[in-house]
């Protein structure tokens, strides 16, 4: 266990080192905008099928509605998730997870760690699992899920999925009240130096400026392209899935712009789910 | 007797499922081990374990029985069927008194064998609300991964596993091993009995008895609160939940920064209770204390300082978020938010929240006008009642809808009655919830429920046996409570129908009234009142003024409770029976009674009594003086008794017979004007 307080990037490096030792493939972020690390094909698609798989990666996650123009101490429209997936779920998943917290300076004898019921569900991905929020001293420091279904398909081998909210975790470890005050590199650069302006500009984009007619058009384009890539004899599951992720993000932007009513909302989610299911089926067909 | 002990050690079981799981385990084991005459069930739950101990017979004793088969001369097929049924051979049979007979002997079964055979099946079909798969490809599911099975009979391991054909059952095998506290005493150790298990776990910082843990939690939070001069706000539900979240409860006290103490109390409570499972504290003067109590699962190697500091920081961040919404929301008035409701869909068939609010306003005005209250104020309260749905705070904490509206309305300087109505119009939310206190609040609460009922019924969303997603039963019960407890005199049927006309397409609301009356019946039954009386009163003519309906029911029930009433009912039944039988022959026997044919004094007296009572009953009913109506009815008892004592209704003389039947018909009609007594049970 390392006792020094890690900078933001050091925290990522320690998690990489730890999960690499557990046999995970260390991947880089996926290059399409998405709402959560679960959308990365390394999780969504790889959770399906009979082949074992283990990976860990950082995924920039965009939640357009959570933008606060850089004024809220702990809400961001762009933040980092640290994502681990192991298929099949190892018998000592909980112990591994606690070990990873020790690596970043959280000692379970000094702190109060708890596994509190939180069933995970993603209506857009047609996915659900059972698990917990991991609490440290009353704060949620991670989400632990045993995947049961993805893309409407029961998983052959249930995966263990762990998601850490990196900023929140770093704030806790560094004892910082404002996300923008986080020590980014241990050499004077703060999180705000890197991201404050982005939060201000993207908040304005998400809530005020994004061209909704264009977003709707792009949503439909993505939807059409996804279907077309899955048509015919040669199904292209991965490129099609990119379009599905894009559609999901475009929907999130439209939602933030406040142009989607409650009933339309359900229908948009249903449309993305249809794409996700089709991609998952195509992926699985190629795996078996 | 032998001690049977079973522990199912798993990853963390949701707190809300633990108690039910213990009950299910006891019930299922009781059934599966019935032949061992189990007794003395003791169950134990913690977040990581579900355990049970009980006394069983050491074995099921050997039993012999004699099965009689077909006649010795029965066809071959019948005999073959008998042999198949009992898995016997012909050689096993003997003949006795012309029948085939099979002597069956069930050998003794050791408890160990019976348990080892029963448990895998029992565990495979354990009724968790939701269970899951994990690890490899085993189809054995549990609420969360099951890690160990400890199974002992008088200290010896009962050997079984969860293997099922190719399915390895996660390799789980019963043993005598268990584990202590996850952090304070990790690792496996062996146990030999219930007492050993309990003591061994207590040494390893696990309290297995949920009741003991609950008491420790309650005492613990009370103690840390008292040490700071505060008391704990009573919250049994939270106590239950927290008990299910820890194996080793450590009570701690955290402080709340003074700068947050001006947030609305409800906002603080939701953050503390729902999000964090903290106990709210009160100062001696009853006001919220700037501190909270909570339970950790470890004492903390620094004495708990880091744990307290962490929990304080988390709560501060939540309060900071709440403050952000609180400050931002108050920058716009509720009034200015009403227009935004047009853009929010309420229900696909019922339009936007704005359209919904317009309909609630219409009903509120109608109710205010019918009850002689301020139409203007009711209208304004209804107009604002859903506006808080557009605020950030309600977006974040949906359970604060209404309450936040009340705060924001007060901030905007709305009339106090309007604020109260906005705040409380979702009430009552259950049988024990309070009603809105003011008249305008009652009206808007009633209007909201009426609108929901007629709207969802018109949209074809009436509750079914299995589901009531829009909580319409609760709405109907709430409406009934408002009307009953505050004595609101309204023609409910008419209001419902007029309210239904605000929906397009219009659909008459008769079924809504029937639904509400059904809820009323359920409510009366739950209170132990006679619901047959309500049916009888409704049988005398539909009355949609529930207050009047219930007053009349109460009076009828009161009458039936007296000796006069009981006798009157018996006489009524006798009359009704005679009429039913005779009407079948040559009825109906209606028409005026011929006074010249009243031969005997008993007939004359009854006729005169009816003649006198009928108008007084009608007048008393019109005055809603139901007690008086019953008193008048009760005077019929002596002449009726005398009549049946002396008179044979079915006289030989046809004219006399008809006249007497008409007299009874008149009696029936007079009594039916009060209630249809044929609907009274008994």
Please indicate whether, in this complex, the C-beta atoms of B321 and A117 are within 8 angstroms of each other. no
pLDDT at residue B682, as a whole number:
65
The CATH number for B396's domain is 1.10.3210
Q: Searching chain A, which residue's CA lies closest to the CA of residue B129?
A: A130
Which residue in B14, B296, B344 is closest to A262 by CB distance? B344
**Position B550 in a domain:** no
Give the residue numbers spanning the domain of A75: 8-204
Asked whether the beta carbons of B553 and B630 are under 8 A apart, the reply is no
Which residues are paired to B65 by β-bridges? Answer: B104
Number of separate domains in chain A: 2
Task: Give, in order, the Cα–Cα distances in Å from B208 to each of B14, B397, B489, B528.
Answer: 16, 35, 56, 40
The CATH number for B642's domain is 1.10.730.10
Round to whole Å and give the CA distance between B393 and B403: 11
A270, A238, A231, A227: CA torsion to nearest 10: 30
Give the residue numbers spanning the domain of B133: 2-59+111-203
**Are B77 and B176 members of one domain?**
no
**Are B18 and B90 members of one domain?**
no
A65 touching B (Cβ < 8 Å): no
A102 touching B (Cβ < 8 Å): no
Q: What is the pLDDT of residues B406-417, one digit of tens each?
A: 999 999 999 999
pLDDT at A174 over 60: yes
Provide the shortest C-alpha distance from residue A222 to chain B (in Å): 26
pLDDT at A218 over 90: yes
DSSP B86-109: HT--GGGEEEETTEEEEEEEEPPE
Round to whole Å and give the CA distance between B309 and B63: 67
ipTM: 0.93
Please indicate whether, in this complex, the C-beta atoms of B133 and A88 are within 8 angstroms of each other. no
Asked whether the beta carbons of A57 and A94 are under 8 A apart, the reply is no
Where is the domain boundary, A154, A173, A204? A204
pLDDT at B314 over 70: yes
Please indicate whether, in this complex, the C-beta atoms of A146 and B320 are within 8 angstroms of each other. no
pLDDT at B561 over 90: no
Please indicate whether, in this complex, the C-beta atoms of B134 and A89 are within 8 angstroms of each other. yes
Which residue in B135, B294, B307 is closest to A88 by CB distance? B135
**Position B335 in a domain:** no
Count CB neighbours of B45 within 10 A: 24
Q: What is the pTM of this model?
A: 0.79
pLDDT at B434 over 70: yes
Report the share of chain A in percent with pLDDT over 70: 98
Which residue do the tokens 């062996």 mark?
Answer: B190
Mean pLDDT of chain A: 94
Which bin fits B416, alpha (ψ -120 to 50), beta or left (φ > 0)? alpha
**Are A239 and A263 members of one domain?**
yes
Round to whole Å and give the CA distance between B49 and B11: 8
**Are A104 and A192 members of one domain?**
yes
B345-347 and B93-96 strand pairing = unpaired
**Are B423 and B484 members of one domain?**
yes
The CATH number for B182's domain is 3.30.70
Which residue do the tokens 């005055």 mark?
Answer: B623
Q: Where residue B107 falls among pLDDT bands split at 50, 70, 90?
A: confident
pLDDT at A1 over 60: no
Span B654-667, average pLDDT = 90
B233 touching A (Cβ < 8 Å): no
Count CB neighbours of B178 within 10 A: 23
pLDDT at residue B402, as a whole number:
95
A144, A150, A154, A160: CA torsion to nearest 10: -20
**Are A246 and A134 members of one domain?**
no
Number of separate domains in chain B: 5
Please indicate whether, in this complex, the C-beta atoms of B132 and A137 are within 8 angstroms of each other. no
Asked whether the beta carbons of B72 and B95 are under 8 A apart, the reply is yes
B215 vs B518, more confident = B215
Report the share of chain B in percent with pLDDT over 90: 59
Q: Point out the least confidently predicted range of A21-35, A38-52, A160-174, A253-267.
A: A253-267
**Position B387 in a domain:** yes
**Are B55 and B127 members of one domain?**
yes
Round to whole Å and give the CA distance between A235 and A226: 10
**Position A3 in a domain:** no
Please list every residue in chain A whose beta carbon sits closer than 8 Å to the beta carbon of residue B15: 117
pLDDT at residue B321, as a whole number:
84
Q: What is the pLDDT of residues A176-187, one digit of tens each?
A: 989 999 999 999
**Are A171 and A217 members of one domain?**
no
B136 touching A (Cβ < 8 Å): yes
**Position A2 in a domain:** no
The CATH number for A175's domain is 3.30.930.10
**Are B455 and B386 members of one domain?**
yes
pLDDT at B68 over 70: yes
**Are B144 and B237 members of one domain?**
no
pLDDT at residue B337, as a whole number:
95
Span B388-394, average pLDDT = 92
**Are A217 and A186 members of one domain?**
no
pLDDT at residue A262, as a whole number:
62
Q: What are phi and psi of A61, to 5 degrees?
A: -120, 130
Report the share of chain B in percent with pLDDT over 70: 100
**Are A186 and A242 members of one domain?**
no
**Position A52 in a domain:** yes
Where is the domain boundary, B271, B301, B329? B329
Q: Where residue A71 falls among pLDDT bands split at 50, 70, 90?
A: confident
Please list every residue in chain A whose beta carbon sits closer than 8 Å to the beta carbon of residue B345: 261-264
B26 vs B676, more confident = B26
**Position B667 in a domain:** yes
Q: Point out the least confidently predicted range of A81-85, A150-154, B257-261, B529-533.
A: B529-533
Q: Searching chain A, which residue's CA lies closest to the CA of residue B303?
A: A110
Count CB neighbours of B596 within 10 A: 8
**Position B337 in a domain:** no
CA angle (A34 as vertex; A29, A40 as ends), nearest 5: 50
A185, A189, A190, A191: CA torsion to nearest 10: -60
pLDDT at residue B504, as a whole number:
67
pLDDT at residue A263, as a whole number:
62
pLDDT at A3 over 80: no
pLDDT at A191 over 90: yes
Q: Point out the least confidently predicted range of A37-41, B299-303, B538-542.
A: B538-542
Count CB neighbours of B486 within 10 A: 14
**Are B572 and B666 members of one domain?**
yes
Q: Where residue A79 falls among pLDDT bands split at 50, 70, 90?
A: very high
Where is the domain boundary, B161, B180, B203? B203
Q: Where residue A238 falls among pLDDT bands split at 50, 70, 90?
A: very high
Indicate the DSSP class of residue B161.
B
Q: Where residue B589 falls among pLDDT bands split at 50, 70, 90?
A: confident
Span B19-23, average pLDDT = 97
pLDDT at B587 over 90: no
**Are A163 and A241 members of one domain?**
no
Q: Where residue A86 falls among pLDDT bands split at 50, 70, 90?
A: very high
Provide the shortest C-alpha distance from residue A100 to chain B (in Å): 15
A128 touching B (Cβ < 8 Å): no
The CATH number for A266's domain is 1.20.58.180
Where is the domain boundary, A171, A204, A237? A204
Q: What is the pLDDT of residues B615-634, one digit of tens each?
A: 999 899 888 898 888 889 88
Taking one residue from A and the other from B, the number of pairs with CB-CB distance under 8 angstroms is 118
pLDDT at residue B452, as a whole number:
93
**Are B155 and B44 members of one domain?**
yes
Q: Which SS3 state, helix, strand or coil, does residue B463 take?
A: coil
**Are A152 and A101 members of one domain?**
yes
**Are A114 and A236 members of one domain?**
no
**Are B415 and B500 members of one domain?**
yes
Span B560-575, average pLDDT = 87
B139 touching A (Cβ < 8 Å): no
Q: What are phi and psi of B436, to 5 degrees?
A: -55, 145
B672 touching A (Cβ < 8 Å): no
Please indicate whether, in this complex, the C-beta atoms of A264 and B16 are within 8 angstroms of each other. no
pLDDT at residue B647, as a whole number:
87
**Are A169 and A58 members of one domain?**
yes
Q: Where residue A2 falls among pLDDT bands split at 50, 70, 90?
A: low
**Are B426 and B510 members of one domain?**
yes
**Are A66 and A141 members of one domain?**
yes
**Position A29 in a domain:** yes
pLDDT at residue B6, as a whole number:
98
Please list every residue in chain B whose beta carbon sits closer than 8 Å to the beta carbon of residue A113: 183, 297
pLDDT at A48 over 70: yes
Which residue do the tokens 């700071």 mark?
Answer: B228
Round to whole Å and give the CA distance between A191 and A177: 12
Q: What is the pLDDT of residues B262-303, one digit of tens each?
A: 999 899 988 899 889 999 999 999 999 999 999 999 999 999
pLDDT at residue A259, as a whole number:
82
pLDDT at residue B12, as a whole number:
97
Asked whether the beta carbons of A138 and B314 are under 8 A apart, the reply is yes
B513, B516, B517, B523: CA torsion to nearest 10: -170
**Are A185 and A229 members of one domain?**
no
- Biggest CA-to-CA distance, chain B: 106
B469 touching A (Cβ < 8 Å): no
Please indicate whether, in this complex, the C-beta atoms of B298 and A109 are within 8 angstroms of each other. yes
**Are B269 and B246 members of one domain?**
yes
**Position B340 in a domain:** no
Q: Where residue B599 falls among pLDDT bands split at 50, 70, 90?
A: confident
Report the share of chain A in percent with pLDDT over 90: 87
Q: Minimal CA–CA distance to B212: which of B201, B226, B225? A: B201
Between residues 345 and 374 of chain B, which touch chain A (CB distance below 8 Å)? 345-346, 348, 352
**Position B279 in a domain:** yes
Mean pLDDT of chain B: 92
Where is the domain boundary, B174, B203, B232? B203
Q: At a CB cut-off of 8 Å and minimum separation 6, what does B339 contact?
A: B354
Please list every residue in chain A whose beta carbon sits closer than 8 Å to the beta carbon of residue B130: 119, 130
Q: Searching chain A, which residue's CA lies closest to the CA of residue B146?
A: A91
Asked whether the beta carbons of B50 and B8 are under 8 A apart, the reply is yes
**Are B431 and B472 members of one domain?**
yes
B647 touching A (Cβ < 8 Å): no
DSSP chain A: ---SPPPHHHHHHHHHHHHHHTT-EEEPPPSS--SSGGGSHHHHTTTSSSS-EEEEEEEEEE-GGG--TT-SSS--SEEEEEEEEEESPPTTHHHHHHHHHHHTT--TTTS-EEEEE--EEETTTTEEEEEEEEEETTEEEEEEEEEEEETTEE-SSPPEEEEEEHHHHHHHHHT-SSGGG-BSSSSS-BHHHHHHHHHHHHHHIIIIIS-HHHHHHHHHHHHHHHHHHTSSSS--HHHHHHHHHHHHHHHHHHHHTT---HHHHHHHHHHHHHHHHHHHHHHHHHH-
**Position A99 in a domain:** yes
Indicate the DSSP class of residue B260.
G
Where is the domain boundary, A204, A224, A249? A204
């Amino acid at each position: 266990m390392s006792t020094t307080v890690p900078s933001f990037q050091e925290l990522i490096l320690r998690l990489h080192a730890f999960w690499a030792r557990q046999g995970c493939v260390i991947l880089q972020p996926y290059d399409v905008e998405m709402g959560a690390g679960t959308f990365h094909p390394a999780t969504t698609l790889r959770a399906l099928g009979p082949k074992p798989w283990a990976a860990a990666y950082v995924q920039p996650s965009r939640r357009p509605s959570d933008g606060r123009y850089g004024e809220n101490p702990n809400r961001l429209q762009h933040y980092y998730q640290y994502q681990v997936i192991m298929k099949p779920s190892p018998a000592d998943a909980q112990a591994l997870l606690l070990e990873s917290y020790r690596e970043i300076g959280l000692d379970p004898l000094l702190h109060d760690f708890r596994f509190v019921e939180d069933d995970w569900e993603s209506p857009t991905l047609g996915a659900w699992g059972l698990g917990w929020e991991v609490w440290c001293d009353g704060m949620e420091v991670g989400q632990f899920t045993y995947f049961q279904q993805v893309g409407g398909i029961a998983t052959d081998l249930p995966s263990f999925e762990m998601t850490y909210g990196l900023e929140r975790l770093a704030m806790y470890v560094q004892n910082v009240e404002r996300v923008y005050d986080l020590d980014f590199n241990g050499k004077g650069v703060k999180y705000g130096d890197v991201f404050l302006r982005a939060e201000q500009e993207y908040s304005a984009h998400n809530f005020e400026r994004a061209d909704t007619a264009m977003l709707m058009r792009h949503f439909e384009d993505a939807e059409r392209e996804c279907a077309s890539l899955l048509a015919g004899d040669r199904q292209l599951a991965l490129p099609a899935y990119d379009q599905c992720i894009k559609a999901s993000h475009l929907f999130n932007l439209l939602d933030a712009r406040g142009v989607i009513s409650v009933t339309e909302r359900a229908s948009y989610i249903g449309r993305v789910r249809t794409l996700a299911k089709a991609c998952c089926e195509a992926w699985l067909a190629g795996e078996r | 007797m032998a001690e049977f002990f079973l522990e199912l050690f798993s990853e963390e079981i949701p707190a809300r499922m633990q108690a039910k799981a213990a009950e299910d385990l006891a019930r299922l084991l009781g059934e599966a081990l019935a032949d061992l005459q189990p007794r003395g069930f003791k169950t134990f739950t913690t977040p990581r374990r579900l355990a049970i101990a009980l006394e069983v017979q050491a074995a099921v004793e050997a039993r012999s029985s004699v099965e009689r088969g077909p006649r010795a001369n029965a066809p071959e097929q019948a005999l073959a069927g008998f042999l198949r049924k009992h898995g016997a051979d012909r050689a096993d049979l003997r003949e006795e008194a012309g029948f085939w007979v099979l002597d069956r002997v069930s050998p003794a079964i050791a408890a160990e064998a019976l348990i080892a055979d029963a448990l895998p099946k029992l565990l495979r079909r354990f009724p968790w609300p939701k269970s899951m798969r994990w690890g490899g490809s085993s189809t054995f599911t549990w609420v969360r991964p099951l890690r160990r099975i400890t199974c002992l009979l008088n200290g010896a391991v009962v050997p079984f596993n969860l293997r099922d054909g190719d399915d390895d059952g996660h390799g789980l095998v019963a043993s005598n091993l268990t584990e202590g506290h996850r952090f304070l005493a990790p690792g496996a150790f062996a146990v030999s009995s219930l007492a050993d298990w309990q003591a061994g776990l207590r040494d390893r910082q696990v309290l297995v008895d949920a009741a003991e843990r609950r008491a420790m939690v309650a005492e613990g939070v009370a103690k840390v609160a008292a040490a700071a001069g505060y008391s704990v706000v009573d919250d049994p539900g939270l106590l239950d939940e927290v008990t299910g979240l820890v194996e080793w409860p450590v009570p701690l006290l955290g402080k709340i920064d003074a700068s947050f103490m001006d947030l609305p109390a409800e906002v603080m409570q939701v953050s503390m209770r729902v999000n964090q499972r903290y106990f709210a504290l009160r100062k001696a003067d009853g006001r919220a204390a700037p501190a909270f109590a909570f339970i950790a699962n470890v004492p903390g190697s620094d004495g708990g300082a880091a744990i307290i500091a962490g929990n304080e920081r988390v709560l501060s961040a939540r309060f900071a978020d709440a403050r952000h919404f609180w400050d931002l929301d108050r920058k716009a008035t509720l009034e200015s938010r009403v227009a935004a409701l047009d853009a929010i869909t309420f229900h696909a068939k019922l339009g936007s929240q704005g359209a919904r609010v317009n309909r609630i306003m219409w009903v509120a005005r109608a109710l205010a006008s019918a009850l002689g209250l301020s139409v203007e104020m009711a209208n304004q309260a209804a107009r604002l009642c859903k506006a808080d749905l557009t605020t950030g705070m309600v977006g974040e904490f949906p359970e604060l809808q209404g309450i936040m509206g009340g705060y924001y309305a007060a901030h905007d300087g709305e009339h106090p009655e309007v604020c109260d109505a906005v705040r409380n119009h979702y009430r009552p939310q259950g049988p024990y919830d309070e009603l809105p206190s003011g008249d305008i609040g009652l009206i808007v609460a009633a209007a909201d429920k009426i609108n929901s009922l007629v709207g969802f019924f018109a949209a074809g969303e009436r509750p079914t046996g299995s589901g009531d997603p829009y909580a319409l039963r609760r709405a109907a019960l709430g409406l009934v409570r408002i009307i009953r407890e505050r004595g609101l005199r309204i023609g409910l049927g008419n209001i419902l129908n007029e309210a239904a006309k605000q929906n397009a397409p219009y659909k008459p609301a008769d079924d809504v009234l029937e639904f509400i009356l059904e809820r009323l019946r359920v409510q009366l039954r739950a209170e132990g009142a006679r619901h047959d009386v309500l049916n009888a009163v409704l049988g005398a003519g539909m009355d949609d003024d529930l207050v009047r309906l219930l007053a009349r029911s109460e009076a009828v029930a009161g009458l039936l409770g007296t000796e006069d009433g009981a006798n009157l009912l018996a006489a009524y039944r006798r009359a009704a029976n005679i009429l039913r039988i005779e009407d079948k022959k040559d009825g109906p026997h209606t028409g005026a009674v011929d006074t010249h044919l009243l031969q005997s004094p008993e007939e004359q007296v009854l006729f005169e009594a009816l003649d006198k009572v009928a108008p007084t009953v009608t007048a008393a009913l019109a005055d809603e003086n139901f007690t008086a109506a019953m008193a008048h009815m009760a005077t019929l008892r002596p002449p009726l008794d005398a009549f049946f004592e002396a008179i044979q209704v079915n006289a030989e003389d046809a004219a006399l017979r008809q006249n007497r039947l008409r007299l009874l018909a008149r009696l029936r009609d007079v009594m039916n004007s009060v209630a249809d007594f044929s609907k009274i049970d008994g």
